[in-house]
Structure 1
Amino acid sequence: MYNNVGAQPGVPRPPAISQPNPFGDTFYGAGSGLIRGGLGAYGEKILGSSSEYVQSNISRYFSDPQYYFQVNDQYVRNKLKVVLFPFLHRGHWTRITEPVGGRLSYKPPIYDINAPDLYIPFMAFGTYVVLAGFSLGLQGKFSPEALNWLFIKGLLGWFLQVSLLKLTLLSLGSGEAPLLDIVAYGGYCFTGLCVAILGRILFGYSYYFLMPWTCLCMGIFLVKTMKRVLFAEVRSYDSSRHHYLLLFIALAQFPLFTWLGITSVNWFI
C-alpha cells in the first residue's frame, strides 16, 4: 500500500533534488568579500595609525641607538676638544639637519661635531673605572669588591647627572629631548674625570688643579649644550629662570666631580 522503495535493501535510493538559488552564492560571495575587505581596511588603518604613533613616540624620546655610534677617529678627537676645552670652540653649537622621508632629521655624529654620541661616554666610563681601580692599587686598597663598588658608584653618578639635566629641561617646559641624547650629554663628564684621575696618578698634586679645571669645562659645555636644546624645544622663554637653572647645572658639576673623583671603597669619601 505504501511506496517505501527507498527503505528496501538492495534498491538504490534516488538522489535528492535541490532547488537552485540564483542569488544565494552571489550574495554570499559579495557579502563575505565586502566584510573581509572592510575589516581588512579598518584593521590596516588601526594598525597603521597605532604603528605610526608608537614609532613617532619612540623616535621622539629614545631615537635609534645605532645613530649614537656612527663615529670615526676625527670626530672623537674633535669632540674631546669640545668637551675638554669648550671655550676654544669657535663654531656654532646648533646641530645640522637634513631631510629624511619628508621630515627633518639630525645628521649622525660622524658628520656633525655637535651631535651627541654614546661611544665616548661608554669608553670614558670604562676608562674611569680602570683608572680608579689602578689608583686604589697604588694605595694598597685594590680588591675585586672595591672595583665593583667603583663601577656602581660611576653608574650612580651618571644617573644623577642625567636626572639633573632631564629635570632641568622638564622644569623649563622642554621635556621632549630624546632620552639617549641626555644620557650622552651626562656621560661626557667621565672624560674630565679620567684626565683628573690620570693626573693624580702621574703627577700627584696636579689633581687639585685638574679637577676644578675639568669641572669648569664640563659646566661650560653643558650650559652651551642645554641652551641650544632649550632654544630649539622650549615654548616660552624666561631669561632669568633659564639663566639661574643653567648656572645651577654648571655649579652642580663641582660636587659631582669631587664625589666621583674620590677613589675609595666608601660611598661618600
Structure 2
Amino acid sequence: MHPRYTSSPPNPGAPLQQQQSAYMTQAYPFQPQQQAPLQHQQHNMGQMRPQPQLHQQPGAPVDFAAWGMNDATAQFGMQLGQSAVAAGQDYVQKNFGGFMPYGTLKHHFNVSNSYVVYKLRLVLFPWRHKPWTRRVHRPDQGYNQGPPPPQAAVGEWMPPRDDINSPDLYIPLMALVTYILLSALHKGFTGHFDPAIFGSLASRALGVLLLDVAFVKMGCYVLGVGSGGDGLGGGAVADVFAYGGYKFVGVILTLLAGMCGAGVMLWSTVFLYAFFANAFFLLRSLRSVVLPDAINSSGTVNPSQRKKRITFLFLEAVSQIIYMGILVRI
C-alpha cells in the first residue's frame, strides 16, 4: 500500500542547492528577522545628519536659551560673577596695592624681545655703556634724559621696552626661576637630587634678595634718598627688587661654568667677572638715583651727604660678592 501525499512530493530533479536552502530555512526560522533591525539601524544612521554649529558674532548678545538657561537666571549669574571679580580686585588693591600697585607691576613687565637681549648684554658687559640716566616722559616736553620732576610718578618714567636703563621685573623673575631649575639639575648630575631641594633653593634665593632689598631701602631712608624729589622715592619697591634681581644673571653664568666642568681657576675667574660686572652695573645705575645732578634735580646734596651716599653705593656694590657667594654654593 502506497502512502498518500497532501502535497506534491519534492521534485527529484530539483537542484541540491534549493533543497539545502529549504532545510536551512526550517533550521533557522528567525534568520530574516535578525537582519531586519540592522537594516533599520543603517536606514536611521543614513538619515542622521550632523547638526550645524551655532556661530555667534563677538559683539552680539549671548543667547542663553540655546544653552537651556533662563535669561533672568543667566543675567543674575553674570552679575554675581562680576561682583565677585570686582570684590577680589578691591581686596587685592586694599591689602597689596600699597606695597606694590598693579600699575607699577604692569610698568615693570612692559618689555620686548629686543630689550631683553640688550639688557642681558648690558648686565654682563656694562663697561662702555653710556648714558646711564633714565628717560622721563614729560607731557609738555616729550621724552628727556635725567631725573623726574618733584611730583614724578611711576607712569612718567618711560617703560623698559623704550628705555634700556629702566629697571624691569621680567629678567629678575626669569633669572630667579632659571637659577632654581639649574641648581636642581646640578644636584641631579651629582646624584644628590631631592624634590625638597626646590623649596630650599627658593627660600635661599628669596632670602638673599629680601636681605639686599632691605639694605638698600634702609640706606635710602637713612640718607634721605627720594625725600627731595630725586632718587628711588618712597614707594619704588619694584625698582629695588629689579636692581637686586639682576645678580642672578651672573650667578647663572657661574653655575653654567661649573656644570661644564670648568676647573677651580676658570670657575673663580667667571665668578669674579660676574661679581665685578654686577657691582659696576649697580654703581652706574644707582649713581643717577642716589647722587643726582644739581642741574636736573630739585633737591640739593651737600658735601657731607654726598660723601655718605658714595660710601653707601660702595657698600652696596661690595656686598654683592657675599650675596652671589651664598647663591653659587649649592
Task: Please state whether the residue corresponding to 2:258 is helix, strand or coil.
Answer: helix
Does residue 75 in structure 1 map to residue 115 in structure 2?
yes
Among candidates 226, 238, 261, match of residue 328 of structure 2? 261
2:168 corresponds to which residue?
117
Residues of 1 paired with 2:100 and 2:301: CA distance?
21
1:95 corresponds to which residue?
134
Q: TM-score, normalised by structure 1?
A: 0.71
Among candidates 161, 184, 193, match of residue 242 of structure 2? 184
Residues of 2 paired with 1:79 and 1:224: CA distance?
14
2:301 corresponds to which residue?
236
Task: Please state whether the residue corresponding to 1:83 is helix, strand or coil.
Answer: helix
AA of the residue aligned to 1:137: G
Question: Would the aligned equivalents of 1:82 and 1:88 in 2 still touch at CA under 8 Å?
Answer: no
Does residue 247 in structure 1 map to residue 247 in structure 2?
no
Task: Please state whether the residue corresponding to 1:93 is helix, strand or coil.
Answer: coil
CA drift of 1:142 comes to 0.9
Residues of 2 paired with 1:231 and 1:243: CA distance?
8
Q: 1:186-225 residue pairs with structure 2 within 5 A?
A: 186-205=244-263, 206-225=266-285
Distance change >3 Å, CA 149–CA 223, structure 1 → 2: same
CA root-mean-square deviation? 2.5
Task: Please state whether the residue corresponding to 1:98 is helix, strand or coil.
Answer: strand
Structure 2: 5+ residue runs without aligned partners? 1-92, 142-150, 227-232
1:164 corresponds to which residue?
215
CA drift of 1:133 comes to 0.8
Task: Please state whether the residue corresponding to 1:204 is helix, strand or coil.
Answer: coil
Question: Would the aligned equivalents of 1:158 and 1:187 in 2 still touch at CA under 8 Å?
Answer: yes
1:129 corresponds to which residue?
180
Residues of 1 paired with 2:170 and 2:215: CA distance?
21
1:46 corresponds to which residue?
none
Question: Would the aligned equivalents of 1:68 and 1:116 in 2 still touch at CA under 8 Å?
Answer: yes
Is the helix fraction higher in 1 or 2?
1
Residues of 2 paired with 1:84 and 1:125: CA distance?
16
Residues of 2 paired with 1:229 and 1:60: CA distance?
21
Distance change >3 Å, CA 132–CA 235, structure 1 → 2: farther
Distance change >3 Å, CA 247–CA 227, structure 1 → 2: same
Structure 1: 5+ residue runs without aligned partners? 1-53, 264-269
Identity in percent: 28
Of structures 1 and 2, the one scoring higher in RCO (CA 8 A, sep 6+) is 1
Q: TM-score, normalised by structure 2?
A: 0.58
Q: Give the number of aligned pairs.
A: 207
AA of the residue aligned to 1:186: G
Question: Would the aligned equivalents of 1:120 and 1:188 in 2 still touch at CA under 8 Å?
Answer: yes
Distance change >3 Å, CA 224–CA 60, structure 1 → 2: farther
Task: Say which one has the larger Rg.
Answer: 2
Question: Would the aligned equivalents of 1:94 and 1:228 in 2 still touch at CA under 8 Å?
Answer: yes
Residues of 2 paired with 1:100 and 1:142: CA distance?
55
Residues of 2 paired with 1:188 and 1:228: CA distance?
18
Residues of 1 paired with 2:177 and 2:139: CA distance?
34
